[in-house]
């Protein structure tokens, strides 16, 4: 039986990804990814308003992360089964509803339940990234994924300062209401502009989840890339968990506004994603990966060059934030470019496994950062920050012989 051209396009994707579609996907990924990070600098004000105990304040961020982790494992793989546009719109609906409930909340329970829903809905971004890879031709896939990832990283890096500024001007409720409105508008735009993409997979949901175990066991490139970025993302989370404490402390004594401005510095690192994508398209992923790891380690070293608390020290902290975010953004793009080469029919599952692994690394990094800063200050925290990319680099240097022997 013959297949219509339109259905063929829906199944295999167009031969070229236009600039406007790439821009749309990058903007969408940035707006969606920001939802996970809005609450991080607002945990104190939200906790005070809702009457939460200090011990329960951590749940404001933790439940969003749990929801995101569950979505990565249980929902993102559906991108290999369900038409991607419909799945994205459903998840945006979950995110918009959860954000609206969070903004309306006056008691802890509804807010915490909505935080879980925000995390689940936000995994729409990890449906769109493999969608972008699927729509791009092989020769320019790294460039397209890099451009989309730059939007995602901008969303992550801008979320904290934007939510801090809005809360200072209005209230934390406005942050959630505004984002809910953005999700509704974004869903309307994507429903009109995204080409359909119908997966060719014919597994049922149970088989899909079981297949992820086999993919993790039988795909050494996936395991390696996921572990590399887990170490780098752990260092990233450690840095951004502890530097606000350092900057607010007696050495620098910065206000919330000053800390928000510091966070804006890291946005410059987002330019690494499109650069890394183009480098990967030229077959230079290996040296670029090593440079990304070295950049993350160097960022922590920079913070010890000048006298603590001096203006030079603050300037070097800003430079460290830029270099760190540059290295992490580049490595993330290089990793996704590599795993997306492993098979179009399993891209969503590969991406779900990749993201889940390094998301766990990020959670460990945050926990390590808080513990280290409480027990040894910035010196101990930064030493751990240096060790994480160094360990990743040591593992990376064994790649050639190990991967060749297992494949």
pLDDT for the residue numbered 256: 66
Report domain extents, the chain: 10-200, 203-407
CATH of 203-407 among 3.30.70.20, 3.40.50.150, 1.20.1250.20, 1.10.3720.10:
1.20.1250.20
Q: Is 95:183 a contact under the CB 8 Å cutoff?
A: yes
Chain segment 147-171, per-residue pLDDT in tens: 887 888 788 888 888 888 888 889 9
Tokens of 143: 């460039």
Structurally, at CATH architecture level, domain 10-200 sits in Up-down Bundle (1.20)
Chain segment 172-214, per-residue pLDDT in tens: 999 999 999 999 999 999 999 999 888 876 778 888 888 888 8
pLDDT band at 385 (very low <50, low <70, confident <90, very high): very high
Q: How far is it between the farthest Cα atoms of the chain?
A: 74
Cα separation, 70 vs 119, in Å, equals 8
171: exposed, middle or buried (Cβ count in 10 Å: 0-12, 13-18, 19+): middle
C-alpha to C-alpha distances, 405 to 103, 213, 228, nearest whole angstrom: 53, 21, 19
Chain segment 93-147, per-residue pLDDT in tens: 999 999 999 999 999 999 999 999 999 999 999 899 888 888 878 777 778 887 8
Q: Is 230:357 a contact under the CB 8 Å cutoff?
A: yes
Cα separation, 54 vs 40, in Å, equals 15
Measured from the Cβ of residue 79, the count of other Cβ atoms closer than 10 Å reads: 27
Cα separation, 259 vs 398, in Å, equals 39
Closest Cα partner for 165 from 257, 67, 288?
257
- Give the chain's length: 407
pLDDT for the residue numbered 3: 40
Chain segment 207-259, per-residue pLDDT in tens: 888 888 888 888 999 999 999 999 999 998 889 878 888 888 899 988 767 87
The pLDDT of residue 35 is above 90: yes
* Same fold? 10-200, 203-407: yes
Task: Determine the average pLDDT of the residues in 373-390.
Answer: 94
Task: Determine the average pLDDT of the residues in 375-397.
Answer: 95
pLDDT for the residue numbered 16: 54
Task: Determine the average pLDDT of the residues in 351-369.
Answer: 84
pLDDT band at 340 (very low <50, low <70, confident <90, very high): confident
- Three-class DSSP labels, the chain: CCCCHHHHHHHHCCCCCCHHHHHHHHHHHHHHHHHHCCCHHHHHHHHHHHCCCHHHCCHHHHHHHHHHHHHHHHCHHHHHCCCHHHHHHHHHHHHHHHHHHHHHCCCHHHHHHHHHHHHHHHCCHHHHHHHHHHHCCHHHHHHHHHHHHHHHHHHHHHHHHHHHHHHHHCCHHHHHHHHHHHHHHHHHHHHHHCCCCCCCCCCCHHHHHHHHHHHHHHCHHHHHHHHHHHHHHHHHHHHHHHHHHHHHCCCCCCCHHHHHHHHHHHHHHHHHHHHHHHHHHCCCHHHHHHHHHHHHHHHHHHCCCCCCCCHHHHHHHHHHHHHHHHHHHHHHHHHHHHHHHHCHHHHHHHHHHHHHHHHHHHHHHHHHHHHHHHHHHHHHHHHHHHHHHHHHHHHHCCHHHHHHHHC
275 conformational bin, left if phi > 0, alpha if psi -120 to 50, beta if neither: alpha
pLDDT for the residue numbered 135: 81
Chain segment 300-336, per-residue pLDDT in tens: 999 999 988 899 999 999 999 999 989 998 998 899 8
């Amino acid at each position: 039986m013959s297949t219509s051209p339109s259905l063929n396009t829906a199944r295999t994707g167009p031969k070229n990804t236009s600039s406007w579609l790439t821009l749309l996907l990058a903007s969408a990924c940035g707006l969606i990814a920001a939802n996970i990070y809005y609450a991080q600098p607002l945990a104190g004000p939200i906790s005070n308003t809702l009457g939460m105990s200090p011990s329960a304040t951590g749940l404001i961020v933790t439940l969003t992360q749990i929801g995101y982790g569950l979505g990565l494992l249980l929902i993102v793989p559906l991108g290999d089964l369900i038409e991607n546009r419909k799945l994205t719109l459903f998840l945006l609906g979950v995110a918009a509803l959860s954000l609206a409930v969070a903004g309306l909340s006056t008691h802890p329970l509804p807010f915490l339940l909505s935080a879980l829903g925000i995390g689940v809905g936000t995994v729409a971004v990890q449906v769109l990234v493999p969608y972008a890879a699927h729509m791009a031709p092989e020769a320019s896939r790294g460039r397209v994924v890099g451009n989309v990832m730059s939007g995602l990283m901008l969303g992550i890096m801008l979320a904290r300062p934007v939510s801090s500024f809005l809360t200072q001007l209005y209230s934390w409720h406005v942050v959630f209401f505004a984002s809910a409105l953005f999700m509704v508008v974004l869903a309307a735009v994507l429903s009109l502009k995204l080409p359909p993409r119908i997966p060719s997979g014919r597994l049922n949901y149970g088989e899909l989840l079981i297949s992820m175990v086999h993919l993790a066991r039988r795909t050494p490139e996936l395991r390696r890339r996921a572990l590399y970025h887990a170490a780098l993302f752990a260092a990233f989370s450690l840095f951004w968990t502890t530097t606000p404490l350092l900057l607010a402390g007696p050495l620098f004594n910065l206000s919330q506004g000053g800390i928000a401005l510091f966070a804006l510095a890291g946005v410059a690192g987002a330019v690494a994603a499109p650069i890394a994508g183009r480098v990967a398209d030229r077959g230079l992923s290996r040296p670029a990966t090593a440079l990304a790891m070295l950049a993350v380690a160097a960022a922590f070293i920079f913070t010890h060059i000048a006298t603590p608390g001096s203006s030079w020290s603050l300037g070097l902290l800003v430079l460290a934030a830029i270099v760190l975010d540059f290295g992490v953004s580049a490595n993330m793009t290089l990793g996704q470019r590599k795993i997306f080469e492993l098979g179009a029919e399993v891209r969503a599952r590969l991406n779900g496994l990749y993201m889940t692994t390094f998301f766990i690394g990020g959670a460990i990094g945050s926990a390590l950062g808080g513990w280290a800063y409480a027990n040894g200050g910035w010196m101990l925290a930064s030493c751990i920050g240096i060790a994480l990319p160094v360990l990743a680099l040591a593992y990376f240097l064994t790649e050639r012989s190990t991967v060749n022997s297992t494949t």
